[in-house]
Amino acid sequence: MQHIFKSTGIAAGAAALLLLSACATPTPYQPIDLTQNMSRGYSDTRIESNRYRLKFSGNTSTPRETVENYMLFRAAELTLENGYDWFTLLSPNTQETTTVSRSYRDPFGPSYYGGFYWRYYRGGWGSWGAYQESSTTFHRYEATAEVLMGRGPKPADNIHSYEAREVAQNLAPQIVRPQPR
C-alpha cells in the first residue's frame, strides 16, 4: 500500500512540475487567439491600406527586449506581406505591468489550537494572524505602435524607420514559434 502512495505522489509531483514548467516559458511568437484562451502574442489591426496598429503582449517570463523584438518582427512581416519595402513606427510604447505575489504562514502552525492563535489586542479579541513568508515580483510587458509602410528607399531622416527585409532577416533567428500540439 505504501508503494501505491509513493508512486502516486511521484506522479503528482511530476505533473505539477510539468504544469509549472509550461507556465514558466516565455510567450512564443504567435497571434493572439481568444477562442483558444490565448491572450498573449501579437495582434494587428489594419487602419489604412499602408497603416496598421500592432501589439505584442508577453507573459511574466517574456523579457522586455523579446516583446519589443517580436513587435518589430511582426511589423517587418506585415510590410513584406503587403508588398512594401520599409516601415516607420509611430508612437512606439512599451508598458510594464508589475504584480507582487505574497505568501503567508501561520506563525504557530496547526499544532497550536488548530492554527491561528487568539489573543487580546487593542481592546478586543482576534486571531494572532499570519506573517509574510515570501514575496515575488512579476513583470509583464506589452509593446504597441502604429506602423506606416512605404515603397522605395526608407526615409533617411527618421530614426523610427526600418528596412523591412533587413529587420526580418536579422530578427528571424531570435523568433521562437509555438510548439506543435
Tell me the one-letter amino acid at 166.
Answer: E
pLDDT confidence bin for 23, thresholds 50/70/90 = low
pLDDT confidence bin for 34, thresholds 50/70/90 = confident
Judge whether 71 and 141 are in contact, CB under 8 Å.
Answer: no
Q: Is residue 179 part of a domain?
A: no
More confident residue, 42 or 100: 42
Residue entry with cell 505568501: 103
Q: Number of structural domains, the chain?
A: 1
Give per-residue pLDDT as tens, 112-158.
Answer: 554 444 455 455 555 555 555 677 889 999 999 999 999 999 999 99
By CB neighbour count within 10 A (0-12 exposed, 13-18 middle, 19+ buried), where does 35 fall? exposed
Kindly report the pTM of this predicted structure.
0.72
State how far the Cα of 85 lies from the Cα of 150, in Å rounded to an integer.
6
